[in-house]
Amino acid sequence: MNRLRQHQLVVFAFAAAVAGIAGLRLDAQTQAPDQFFTMPGQPQTMTPSRRDGLTDVLALSATGGAGVEDNGQPVQGELRDPQFQGRQTYSDVSGAVVYNTVNASRFGLQLNATGGARYYDTLHEVLSNGESVGAATAFPLGRRTTVALTSGFSYSPNYALAQFTDLVPNTDAVVTANDLALVRRPAYTSGLTAALTESFGPKASFMMNYGLHRSDFVNNEDPSLVAQSGYAMFRYRFSRNVGFHAGYGRRVGEYNLLNDTQSAPIEDIDIGLDYNYNRGVSLSKKTTLSFGSGSSITEQDHRHHFTVTGTVNLDQAFTRYSHATLTYTRGVQLLEGFVEPVYSDSLTAAINGAIGARVHLATSASYSMGEVGLSGNNNDYRAWNTGGRMTVDLSRLSMLYVSYGFSSSDIGSGVQLVHDVPYTQRRHSLRVGASLRVPVIRRRVTAERK
């Protein structure tokens, strides 16, 4: 036990010391946070992060810390790896590099890579946290035509029942894929998307995109997934606040089983009116409501199943940097590890805010329920994820943090899962650490005026 504490204290003390030294050197700089806005299908466009008007083109970041995970009491005959049994403590370190050069009206390019390792003292093992590389670019083909391309490749050592996974993980997420991992099942994931947007004057526009997503487990007995999607949408504005849109898409997921290939086609239809053009309906000065609806038609065993889909989001602002959101989502997903489409209803609540100039809080809680496939025989599932994180800024580029997370899932016995994945699981996790961000190249990046 003393040896375990020594390992954790060394890692944590080293990260805190590095962050503290950076804080002393950078404390004289402005405390204004980096800001950016994201265009759909385009790389992030960074705004000046300092009063000198410069922005980070190449930046490195490192995070180190220690934590404990409680997976509940080991069950007799448990097939999962020791990493996911009982209570485990660990130390870890991770890093990321981001290259981002954007001229908002001409050309944008973003490259990023992440990686890390975790040491479990009780297991005497050093395990990968996963690695990923990604790229995104956007450029005009003409005065009214824009093209956006994104691609990525990642390696994940563990399998997690996580919806809406990204090729490049979001390191700022309150609940990460490592928090939701259930079993060691290494997999490689790759993807490519291409989007084209054409504007027909100030009132009409047309958009179409294509996506290819592939997930291959190292173990051939697990169901790999190849998903392709195509989508097109036309929008027309009747007035300043009211418009119309019509869209159609098709997704096809091919599950490569050990002795067979199973296909799951999904057609998406989205026709309706737009109000306030995705900026939401202002219920009050600080309360905004936004929503959208559509439908999906799934084909299985020569039968067609119609599902109403949509999203409703309620946003309540408290201050300039603090707000709460409540989001309901209903949809049909093609997810890794399953051999049939997943029909889900999800409700997510989140609160993000600042306490003073240096302390920030972020919390989220999400509950999902639904069915896997259309068999109706013990194919239901429920999942609950919640977490919170508090960060303390030592400087503009360094911080300390503490986070807590809880996740649980219950899946019907009629659902085919990846080998050794439990049908019922509960996990608590607590982590403390420090993070440092180092700008390597800074330039003045400005948007050209039209």
pLDDT at 205: 93
Query: Cβ neighbours of residue 193 under 8 Å, at least 6 residues apart?
Result: 41, 149, 150, 151, 209, 210, 211, 212
Task: With CA atoms as reference, report the closest residue to 400 among 118, 27, 15.
Answer: 15
Q: Which residue has the tokens 């809406």?
A: 164
For 186-224, give one letter per residue: b (16+ CB within 10 A) or e.
bbebebbbebbbebeeeeebebbbebebbbbbeeeebbb
As a whole number, mean pLDDT of residues 66-71 equals: 90
Beta-ladder partners of 344: 331, 370
d(CA 152, CA 110): 11
DSSP string, 58-83: EEEEEEEEEEEEE--SPPTT--S-GG
CB neighbours of residue 175 within 10 Å = 21
- Tell whether the model's pLDDT for residue 24 goes beyond 50: no
Could you tell me if 88 and 125 are in contact, meaning their C-beta atoms sit under 8 angstroms apart?
no
For the chain, what percent of residues have pLDDT higher than 90? 32
| pLDDT: which is higher, 143 or 49 | 143
d(CA 288, CA 73): 44
Which phi and psi (to 5°) does residue 430 adopt? -135, 135
Give the 3-state secondary structure percentages of the chain, helix then strand then coil, rounded to 5.
5, 60, 30
As a whole number, mean pLDDT of residues 411-424 equals: 82
Q: How confident is the model at residue 251 (pLDDT cuts 50, 70, 90)?
A: very high
Q: How confident is the model at residue 44 (pLDDT cuts 50, 70, 90)?
A: very low
As a whole number, mean pLDDT of residues 169-186 equals: 71
CB neighbours of residue 446 within 10 Å = 13
Per the prediction, the chain carries an average pLDDT of: 79
Which phi and psi (to 5°) does residue 67 adopt? -160, 175
pLDDT at 155: 92
Least confident of 91-100, 158-167, 190-199, 385-394: 158-167
Least confident of 27-31, 152-156, 388-392, 423-427: 27-31
What is the C-alpha R_g of the chain?
23
Q: How confident is the model at residue 13 (pLDDT cuts 50, 70, 90)?
A: very low
Task: With CA atoms as reference, report the closest residue to 180 among 396, 341, 434, 407.
Answer: 407
Topology classification of domain 2-443 = Porin (2.40.160)
CB neighbours of residue 260 within 10 Å = 8
Q: How confident is the model at residue 133 (pLDDT cuts 50, 70, 90)?
A: very high
Least confident of 185-189, 260-264, 404-408: 260-264
Across 107-180, the runs of DSSP E, i.e. the strands, are 107-120, 125-128, 131-140, 145-160
pLDDT at 304: 82
pLDDT at 445: 57
- Tell whether the model's pLDDT for residue 103 goes beyond 90: no
CB neighbours of residue 5 within 10 Å = 12
**DSSP 3-state assignment of 19?**
helix
Beta-ladder partners of 385: 366, 407
d(CA 110, CA 347): 32
C-beta contacts of 111-114 below 8 A and 24+ residues apart: 111/135, 112/168, 114/168, 114/169, 114/171
For the chain, what percent of residues have pLDDT higher than 70? 79
Task: With CA atoms as reference, report the closest residue to 180 among 198, 165, 159, 164.
Answer: 159
- Tell whether the model's pLDDT for residue 16 goes beyond 50: no
Task: With CA atoms as reference, report the closest residue to 330 among 378, 304, 291.
Answer: 291
